[in-house]
Structure formats: structure tokens, C-alpha cells
């Protein structure tokens, strides 16, 4: 690494921290509906939407009502997207004459975009019409992201509230989050991307003659608007098959930096917003420090592995699968950022990373993507581990564990265990099933430990609602389209429902004043304990599989052995 590589990392971190703090205050005010300025700007539009949809925003919901509203809305949205894909050849805004999407691929895509996964087993520029991209996929990028933030807001209200049996109004939360947070930021970023050369047009693809005299088609479309929300909403679904490695999605070093910052921005701000919402900013700062430390360690290991592999390659820079305009450092930094969050956008092929760099990307997702994580998702996943850490520490000192003055009891821990272990079970069972089905194994492009990594990464990315692909695996088969779609749904809602149940259970409890035996949860000591619990749970669950995949491949690489 040279000084320019270090400078790029420093600029990224400095910009993130500088932007996250003011955005945190804005987001906290939006979630609490406590800003007169926001009400003046957005109030008229919100009231119009409430009247149009027959919503009473002041009507409070219990955790069960909130959950059913969320599930019904997401299920209806999934069905609508499925029908749009199946009927796109009969619908308008299809200048390139795209045909109907195959049913199981359409089912997989509908589940993918509904769950904020954006796993894509298709080439966007040759499969989806403009209407499908805009009305179907892009709108789900907003709604799935808003759902994640809404769940976080509801969980925070349950943890903070004093003897309340309601968590807010799901419809009002979705409206405020979309109009006040996601839409304004997306407009700003879309304009910046269009300024840098990202297409934003409804014109059909353009045939051109290259310098060599060959014929080529330039794929156009409403790209900038979709890329903006795909990064800000930690969705990750690209307009083009090459995702953010495509020069139309990510044409310049500036767009590369802006898109990386966008992936972390809202998620990082939500951590600090949580501290403001609790009335104790150190609560948010402690979680921010934990997430940032884990991000820094993962980045350091990944960079070390990638640059160390240069020696194993005979001293040549390992650029296979990477864009020369980004280089090694930007490719590795992006891979860590996109897997720390649930974004899944890629500017290089993760299969081409060194074994340990690919292993870090996979491990980031396996952790539950709680290192900042998806918008909202990272925080509510982290809060599950916070509750587990407080509970375990309480057992060690023989006291009833408490968090924010409320006792943590059997029901909360049962739900936390379901939310933390269910995704791991889906990942390992799905990977084992793939290894046992010959037709699924035939979809691999590699053998040995790298082939196992391809399988493990596909199930991890889907269940973790990340959506990035390791590359090399032909996932557009009925086995994977059906299996991975079910994994996406399980990975999303098997975490959301327990979180809302915990919020409902904690909300009705009476707060107790802290005592000499209360474990502080806003200190560096608690941060260290929290990291330990996260690593123990993830290590015990996934270490054997990671050892057989990236671990063995790394050792073989050092010996010059390949399959």
C-alpha cells in the first residue's frame, strides 16, 4: 500500500464521521416526529397521503398489530412485484421489448427485493423493463429500507418507553421515513451521480460502432435514481449485471467514494440517533465504537491478506476480477463496507479476492451484518446481542440482568436466541443440502475449498439479506431460485418478528433506577464484552465451515496448490 491508498481510507472514514453526527439528530427527530421544521416541510404531503390511504397516524399499535401490518404490507408488495415481472411484456415503458420473467426467477427476485436482499440471478440490462426497474425494483428499494428503519424505531420505543403497550404506528413510520429520510438523500445522491455521468433516461438502448468497427449496444435507462437508493438503503441491486463495477453505475473515483459513504451513512447515523433517543448519547457512542472497531479489524485483515497474496502470485498485483480504475485498496475497502452493511453492491468479484479477504466478506455477513449493518437491520440485530451480553453478565454476578432500567427475563432471551441463531441454522442447513444434491453441485465453477466457499457464500448472502455474489455459481436454477428465496424470507422475518416481540415485552415493564449492581452498558468495558459475545456466537456457529473453505484455500495458496 502507498500513501494514496491510506489517504483514500482516511478520507472515507473522515467523511463518514463528519456526516453521520448531524444526520443522526435529523433522523432521531424524524422518528420521534419532534421537529417543527420537518413538519412544515413534509407535513402537507404526509397528511395528503394519510387521507388518501385512510390512515390515522395518531393511532398507536401493539407489537402484534405492528407486526401484522408489516407482514401484510411486505407480502402484498412481494406479490405486486411478482406480477409486474410476469406481465412486463404487456406493460408500458418497455422500449427494449423485454419478455416475461421466468416464474421461479421472478419469485426469487420478488422475495429478494422485498427482504432488502437484492440477490440477482439475472442480468438487469437484458431481463427487466424500465417499468419493472422503476415501479417494481426501485420502489422496493425504498420500502424495504423503510421497513428496516421502522423495526428499529419500534424496538427502540419498546426498550426506552415506560410501561407502554404500543410501539407507534407502522404506516406513519413508513411514511415519515420514506419522505423525510430516504427520498431527500436519494435525490441529492442521484443528482451527484448523474453529474458524474451515470445515465438517467427513458430512451432505449443505443447501437454504436466501436473504433475497431464492431457493433455494440450501449444499455441505458433510469440508472442514477436506482443506484442512489440501492446504496443509501443498503439494498445493493444493480441496474446492470456487473453492478457497481459497471462504468455506467460507478464511472469515476468520486462516484466510488460517494457510493461507499452512502452504504454506511444512514446505518452509522442510526447508531448515534439511538443514543439521542435513549437520552444517553454514550449508549449510541459505545455501539458505534464497537461497530467501528470490528470494521477496522476486518478491513485490516482483508487488506493484509490481499497484499500478502501478491507474493504467492510471484510479485505481481492480483488484479483478476478487479477494476483497474479502482485498484486493490478501493476494491477491498468496498468489499468490507458492502458486507458489513447488508448492501451487497460489488465493484469487484469477491470470488477473485484472496481466500482470507473473501472469508472476511463472508464472515461479516455471518455476524448478522451488525457492523453498522443494513439500515435499521444493523441496529436491531446489534440490540439482540446487547440483550444477550447483559443477560450473560447478569448470570455471572448472580443478578437479574437489566437494560435501560428494565429487567431482562425468560421471554426476551428466548426471542433473542431465535433472532440470532435462526439465520445461522438456515445458512448451514442450506449449504449442507446443496452439497448433497448433484444437480446443485453441477452449478459450481470451482472444486475443492473454493467450491465450498461458493456454496457457503450464496446461502450466507441470501439469508443475511446481503445479496452480493461470490461469482462462479450458476444460481439461476429452480433449486437455487426457490431455496435461496425461502432463505431470504427466513433471514429477514425470523429476526424482525422476535425483535418486535421483545419490544412489546420490554415496553410494558416498569423502569427501575440504577443501583450499585447495575451493569453499565455505555462504557468501553461493556463494549469489549459485547464484542466477545458476538465473536463467540458467530465463531462457534461458523468456524468449522469457514475453516474448510477460506481457511484451507489460504493454506493451499501458500503451498502453490490449486484445484
- Residue 22 clears pLDDT 80, i.e. is over it: yes
Output the furthest CA–CA distance in the chain (Å, rounded): 80
Query: Would you state the pLDDT for residue 440?
Result: 92
pLDDT digits (tens, 9 = 90+) for 420-474: 999 999 999 999 999 999 999 999 988 889 999 999 999 999 999 999 988 788 8
Instruction: Give the per-residue pLDDT at 507.
Output: 92
Q: CB burial class (10 A; 0-12, 13-18, 19+) of residue 410?
A: exposed
Check pLDDT > 80 for residue 313.
no
Least confident among 129-133, 277-281, 366-370, 462-466: 366-370
- Tens of pLDDT along 210-258? 888 888 888 899 999 999 999 999 998 888 888 999 999 999 999 999 9
**Predicted local confidence at residue 228, as pLDDT:** 95
pLDDT of res. 215? 87
Average of per-residue pLDDT across 193-217: 90
**Mean pLDDT throughout 399-407?**
86
Note the Cα 12 to chain centre separation in Å: 19
Separation of alpha carbons 505 and 517, rounded Å: 23
| Res 519 pLDDT > 90 | no
**Percent residues over pLDDT 70 in the chain:** 98
Contact 125, 133 (CB under 8 A): no
Whether 324 has a pLDDT exceeding 90, the answer reads no
d(CA 287, CA 473): 36
Task: Give the per-residue pLDDT at 558.
Answer: 80
Question: How many residues does the structure list for the chain?
Answer: 563
Q: Which three cell numbers stand for residue 473?
A: 455459481
Digit-coded pLDDT (tens) for 552-561: 988 888 877 7
Percent of the chain residues past pLDDT 90, beyond the cut = 73
d(CA 304, CA 329): 10
> Do 534 and 295 form a contact (C-beta atoms < 8 A)?
no
pLDDT tens for 523-544 read: 999 999 999 999 988 878 899 9
Query: 320 versus 436: which is more confidently predicted?
Result: 436
Mean pLDDT of 166-192: 96
Query: Which pLDDT belongs to residue 177?
Result: 97
Q: Using CA atoms, how far apart are residues 113 and 488, in angstroms rounded to an integer?
A: 10
CB-count burial class (<10 Å; 0-12, 13-18, 19+) for 195: exposed
Question: How far is it, in rounded angstroms, from Cα 483 to Cα 277?
Answer: 39
Task: Please give the radius of gyration of the chain, using alpha carbons only, rounded to the nearest integer.
Answer: 23
Q: Is it the case that residue 315 has pLDDT exceeding 70?
A: no
pLDDT tier for residue 310 given thresholds of 50, 70 and 90: low
pLDDT at 100: 95
Q: Which pLDDT score, from 0 to 100, does residue 196 have?
A: 95
Residues 130-161 have pLDDT tens digits of 999 999 999 999 999 999 999 999 999 999 98
Q: Which residues, at least 6 apart from 12, have a Cβ–Cβ distance to it below 8 Å? A: 257, 260, 261, 333
Give the number of other Cβ atoms within 10 Å of residue 467's Cβ. Answer: 30
| pLDDT, mean over the chain | 91
Neighbours of 537 (CB within 10 A): 18
311 pLDDT tier (thresholds 50, 70, 90): low
For cell 420490554, name the residue: 506
DSSP for 251-298 reads -SHHHHHHHHHHHHHHHHHHHHHHHHHHT-HHHHHHHHHHHHHHHHHH
pTM of the model: 0.94
**Residue 168 confidence (pLDDT):** 94
> Which 3 state secondary structure label does DSSP give 35?
coil
- pLDDT exceeds 80 at position 316: no
The C-alpha cell at 535 is 465473536
Is the pLDDT at 124 greater than 90? The verdict is no
Look at residue 314 and tell me whether its pLDDT is greater than 70. no
At 307 the pLDDT is 87
**Residue indicated by cell numbers 397528511:** 47
Amino acid at each position: 500500500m502507498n500513501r494514496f491508498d491510506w489517504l483514500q481510507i482516511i478520507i472515507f472514514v473522515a467523511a463518514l464521521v463528519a456526516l453521520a453526527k448531524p444526520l443522526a439528530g435529523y433522523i432521531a427527530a424524524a422518528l420521534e416526529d419532534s421537529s417543527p421544521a420537518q413538519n412544515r416541510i413534509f407535513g402537507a404531503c404526509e397528511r395528503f397521503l394519510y387521507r388518501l390511504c385512510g390512515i390515522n397516524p395518531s393511532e398507536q399499535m401493539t407489537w402484534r398489530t405492528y407486526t401484522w401490518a408489516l407482514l401484510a404490507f411486505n407480502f402484498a408488495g412481494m406479490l405486486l412485484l411478482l406480477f409486474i415481472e410476469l406481465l412486463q411484456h404487456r406493460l408500458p415503458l418497455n422500449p427494449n421489448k423485454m419478455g416475461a420473467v421466468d416464474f421461479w426467477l421472478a419469485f426469487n427476485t420478488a422475495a429478494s427485493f422485498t427482504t432488502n436482499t437484492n440477490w440477482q440471478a439475472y442480468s438487469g440490462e437484458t431481463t427487466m423493463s424500465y417499468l419493472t426497474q422503476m415501479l417494481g425494483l426501485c420502489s422496493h428499494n425504498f420500502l424495504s429500507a423503510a421497513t428496516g428503519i421502522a423495526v428499529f424505531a419500534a424496538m427502540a420505543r419498546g426498550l426506552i418507553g415506560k410501561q407502554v403497550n404500543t410501539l407507534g404506528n407502522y404506516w406513519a413510520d413508513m411514511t415519515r421515513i420514506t419522505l423525510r429520510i430516504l427520498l431527500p438523500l436519494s435525490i441529492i445522491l442521484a443528482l451527484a451521480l448523474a453529474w458524474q455521468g451515470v445515465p438517467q433516461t427513458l430512451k432505449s438502448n443505443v447501437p454504436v460502432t466501436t473504433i475497431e468497427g464492431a457493433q455494440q449496444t450501449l444499455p441505458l435507462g433510469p440508472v442514477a435514481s436506482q443506484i442512489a437508493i440501492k446504496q443509501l438503503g443498503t439494498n445493493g441491486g444493480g441496474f446492470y449485471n456487473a453492478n457497481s463495477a459497471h462504468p455506467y453505475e460507478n464511472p469515476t473515483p468520486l462516484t466510488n467514494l460517494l457510493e461507499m459513504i452512502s452504504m454506511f451513512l444512514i446505518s452509522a447515523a442510526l447508531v448515534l440517533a439511538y443514543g439521542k433517543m435513549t437520552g444517553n448519547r454514550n449508549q449510541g457512542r459505545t455501539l458505534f465504537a464497537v461497530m467501528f472497531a470490528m470494521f477496522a479489524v476486518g478491513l485490516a485483515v482483508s487488506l493484509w491478506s490481499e497484499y500478502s497474496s501478491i507474493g504467492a502470485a510471484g510479485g505481481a498485483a492480483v488484479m483478476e476480477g478487479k477494476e483497474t480504475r479502482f485498484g486493490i485498496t478501493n476494491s477491498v475497502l468496498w468489499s468490507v463496507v458492502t458486507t458489513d452493511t447488508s448492501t451487497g453492491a460489488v465493484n469487484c468479484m469477491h470470488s477473485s479476492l484472496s481466500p482470507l479477504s473473501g472469508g472476511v466478506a463472508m464472515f461479516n455477513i455471518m455476524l448478522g451484518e451488525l457492523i453498522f449493518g443494513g439500515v435499521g437491520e444493523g441496529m436491531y440485530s446489534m440490540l439482540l446481542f446487547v440483550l444477550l451480553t447483559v443477560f450473560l453478565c447478569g448470570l455471572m454476578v448472580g443478578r437479574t440482568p437489566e437494560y435501560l432500567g428494565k429487567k431482562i427475563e425468560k421471554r426476551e432471551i428466548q426471542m433473542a436466541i431465535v433472532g440470532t441463531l435462526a439465520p445461522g441454522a438456515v445458512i448451514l442447513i442450506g449449504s449442507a443440502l446443496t452439497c448433497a444434491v448433484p444437480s446443485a453441485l453441477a452449478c459450481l465453477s470451482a472444486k475443492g475449498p473454493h467450491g465450498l466457499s461458493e456454496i457457503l457464500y450464496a446461502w450466507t448472502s441470501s439469508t443475511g439479506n446481503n445479496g452480493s455474489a461470490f461469482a462462479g455459481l450458476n444460481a439461476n436454477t429452480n433449486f437455487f431460485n426457490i431455496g435461496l428465496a425461502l432463505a431470504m424470507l427466513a433471514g429477514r422475518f425470523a429476526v424482525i418478528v422476535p425483535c418486535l416481540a421483545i419490544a412489546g415485552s420490554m415496553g410494558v415493564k416498569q423502569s427501575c433506577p440504577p443501583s450499585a449492581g447495575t451493569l453499565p452498558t455505555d462504557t468501553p468495558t461493556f463494549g469489549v464484552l459485547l464484542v466477545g459475545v458476538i465473536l463467540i456466537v458467530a465463531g462457534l456457529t461458523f468456524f468449522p465451515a469457514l475453516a474448510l473453505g477460506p481457511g484451507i484455500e489460504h493454506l493451499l495458496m501458500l503451498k502453490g496448490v490449486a484445484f
